[in-house]
Amino acid sequence: MNLRKRNSRASAEVHTSAMNDIMFFLLLFFLIASTVTNPNVIKLMLPKSSSGQSVSKKTINVSITKDLKYYVDKQEVQPDGLQAALGTYKNMATDLTIVLHVDRTVAIQDVVQVMDVAQKMNIKLVLATEPKG
């Protein structure tokens, strides 16, 4: 007569130590990727365009916010000091392109002022837009 209890059930365990490592690496990847994908810190609502072109590597970002603050490569400048700020970049590179980021609520006269400065300095200018859709 066998009076011992039969303990034939297998215990089910889930090891989650590997999942912690995977989650850490995913978090690290997304943190690094998010800093690379958003180079333009100034938040603007750009107008939409159905055609888009890439721009050469020697570019300067000029931004005009909806409250008419002018930025040259993330540094705020006064509208009358825009030509002097662009002059320093013009001396560094011969083939230069300005990428103009303008909020869609800004009057066209402010855009034309920047275009006039670029024309006087013989710098190419491209207006940044968002793709439609």
Q: Which DSSP string do the residues of 27-76 spell out, in sequence order? A: HHHHHHHHHHH----S---PPEES------SSEEEEEE-TT--EEETTEE
Q: What are phi and psi of 84, to 5 degrees?
A: -70, -40
Instruction: List, in order, residues 6 or more apart from 65 with CB less than 8 Å away.
Output: 42, 44, 71, 103, 106
pLDDT band at 129 (very low <50, low <70, confident <90, very high): confident
Residue linked to tokens 């400048």? 77
For the chain, the average pLDDT equals 81
| Residue 48 in this model has a pLDDT that exceeds 50 | yes
Percent of the chain with pLDDT over 70: 77
Q: What is the CATH number of domain 48-131?
A: 3.30.420.270
Where exactly are the structural domains of the chain?
Answer: 48-131
Q: Tell me the one-letter amino acid at 63.
A: S
Q: What is the spatial distance between Cα 66 and Cα 87, in angstroms, rounded to a whole number?
A: 25
